[in-house]
Amino acid sequence: MRTDDRLTRRLAEFVASTDAATLDASIVHQVKRNLIDYLAATYAGVDSDAARAVRSYTARTDTGDDATIIGTDLRASAGGAAYVNGTTAHALDLDDGFTKGACHPGAPIVSAALAAAEARGSSADALIAAIAVGYEVAVRLAGSTHPAQRRRGFHNTALVGTMGSAAAVASLARADTEQVCAALGSAASHASGILSFLDEGSEIKRVHAGKAARDGLVSAELVLEGLSGPLNVLDLEHGYFHAFAGGEYDRGFLIDDLGTTWRMLDTYNKPYPCCRHVHGAIDAALVMRQDDAFDPTAIDEVRVETFAIAASHDKQVVENTMDAQMSLPYSLAVALARGAVGMGDFESEARADSLLTRLAARTAVVVDQDLDAAYPTHRAARVIVTMGDRQLVQLISDPYGEPANPMSDDDLDDKFRRNVEPVIGGGRASQLAEAVWGLAGDAPLWSLLTTATT
């Protein structure tokens, strides 16, 4: 194999050669959008059970003082902060994602980049470049294997989050091509996370993003300390693609137009705190609610036609918050009954609502072959609601927040303020938003991420 044919080296050369000066303005703006969205999700998750558990463990075991634990007055080592912040960002399922790869890149990659940049005293420009390349590595890897990795039971966020985080931290360190290759090789050995949370609703899903952030950061830092890693982990017989996708991958998706076409521009933002696979059905329900004669108590049956992966989220009886967030029938019931979907709708009091349980029980989810063929380009859902002799039908091809149906900068700013102001107050939130949208050069950011008086 020629050196220039090696997939690992192609990615590594991209990471090593990209800095802020090489980034188009559209990429810089996308990084700022993703950072605003990341902070909205992270501050929203500060009081979640998963965040509390990981934060408590880290406070007890990590005596570092290198980086900020966002939304608190605590500090930890860079790895410890990345672990907590990544978990917190993913704790409510409100973080960004990439449809073609079924992954959440922001929670792990931004967490690793922020912590490492603070510890290193990196400039804002270096941080922006690191986040950009981390995202690009992650989403290209994710899209190149999906859904092969899912069929084997792996959670792509945990896999590509580790790889992208290693790339981001290597970028901050201005690692050369060989070092980036080794960092990716090391990260592949650290990557792990399975989909068992879909079966039992375990909160371990939240920690997948934190673990990916920490392990990607550590993988890159260990290489910088002199530890060797396989230099061709994407190309080897017993490498990444063999382990996680059974050798199935799309070479073109991974490396075609690398550095000129940025797939990270196709990330989505979430308006609702639940599994992205159910958002199309939610959007359809919210359109139906605009009908003046709509009455959720009069619904006799609901039918959802969608793609196969979404149809697998068909649990009608939910036993905990994770179950509810992953359930299409329950999430749709919330939208139909309440006309809005927020975090409180997945907690125990809401789950006891008899109207929600009745609507979920009356919802049938089936695979539509045409909609399935359109996935993962589109996450479509057709919802059919029967009320007596009336039938309402609504098709959503691209849920709100997808690149084809995007949230505007103002929408993201509103999401940010709704979730950040309750934690740090309106004045501090405004300062932080202004700092992110204006991020450049050596602009300060770290002091605004803590609740401590500065």
Place of tokens 């009745």: 358
Q: Which tens digits make up the pLDDT trace of 217-256? A: 999 999 999 999 999 999 999 999 999 999 999 999 999 9
Cα separation of 111 and 108, whole Å?
5
Nearest to 85 by CA among 46, 64, 111: 111
Tell me the average pLDDT of the chain: 95
Check: CB of residue 356 under 8 Å from CB of residue 281: no
Cα separation of 143 and 128, whole Å?
22
**Residue range 3-266, CATH number:** 1.10.4100.10
Token pair of 126, please? 């270096």
Tell me the one-letter amino acid at 107: A
Distance (Å) of CA 200 to CA 195, 208, 356, 422: 10, 16, 21, 31
Cα separation of 366 and 165, whole Å?
37
pLDDT above 70 covers a percentage of the chain that reads: 98
Token pair of 93, please? 């399922």
Tell me the one-letter amino acid at 208: H
User: What does the pLDDT read at residue 449?
Assistant: 87
pLDDT at 3 over 70: no
Cα separation of 275 and 97, whole Å?
10
Parse the chain into domains and list their residue ranges. Answer: 3-266, 276-396
Angle, helices 177-190/7-17, rounded to nearest 10 degrees: 120
Report residue 1's pLDDT band, with 50, 70 and 90 as the boundaries: very low
pLDDT at 163 over 60: yes
Q: What is the DSSP letter of 117?
A: H
Tell me the one-letter amino acid at 302: V
| CATH homologous superfamily for the domain 276-396 | 2-methylcitrate dehydratase PrpD (3.30.1330.120)
Check: CB of residue 208 under 8 Å from CB of residue 155: yes
Lowest mean pLDDT among 123-137, 185-199, 247-261, 436-450: 436-450
Report residue 311's pLDDT band, with 50, 70 and 90 as the boundaries: very high
Find the mean pLDDT for residues 91-116: 97
pLDDT above 90 covers a percentage of the chain that reads: 94
Report residue 4's pLDDT band, with 50, 70 and 90 as the boundaries: low
Check: CB of residue 95 under 8 Å from CB of residue 107: yes
Angle, helices 106-120/25-44, rounded to nearest 10 degrees: 100
Find the mean pLDDT for residues 392-398: 97
pLDDT at 378 over 70: yes
Cα separation of 56 and 49, whole Å?
11
Find the mean pLDDT for residues 334-346: 95
Cα separation of 310 and 391, whole Å?
23
Residue 263 Rama label (left phi>0; alpha psi -120 to 50; beta): alpha
Place of tokens 């693609």: 241
Check: CB of residue 140 under 8 Å from CB of residue 263: yes
Cα separation of 303 and 363, whole Å?
6
Backbone angles phi, psi at 278, to 5 degrees: -100, 0
- Residue 93: CB atoms within 10 A of its CB come to 23
Find the mean pLDDT for residues 122-129: 95
Q: Which tens digits make up the pLDDT trace of 421-433? A: 999 999 999 999 9
Residue 255: CA atoms inside 13 Å, Cβ hemisphere, count?
A: 15
Alpha helices in 100-146 (DSSP H): 106-120, 124-145
Distance (Å) of CA 218 to CA 9, 177, 211, 266: 20, 18, 10, 28
List b or e across 328-344, with b for residues whose CB sees 16 or more CB atoms inside 10 angstroms.
bbbbbbbbbbbeebebe
pLDDT at 454 over 50: no
Going through 237-367 in order, the beta strands assigned E by DSSP cover 301-306, 363-367
Q: Is the dihedral of CA 117, 122, 123, 126 positive or negative?
A: negative
User: What does the pLDDT read at residue 447?
Assistant: 81
Find the mean pLDDT for residues 436-444: 83
Cα separation of 86 and 79, whole Å?
10
Report residue 444's pLDDT band, with 50, 70 and 90 as the boundaries: low
Report residue 441's pLDDT band, with 50, 70 and 90 as the boundaries: confident
Token pair of 410, please? 């103002």
Cα separation of 451 and 332, whole Å?
36
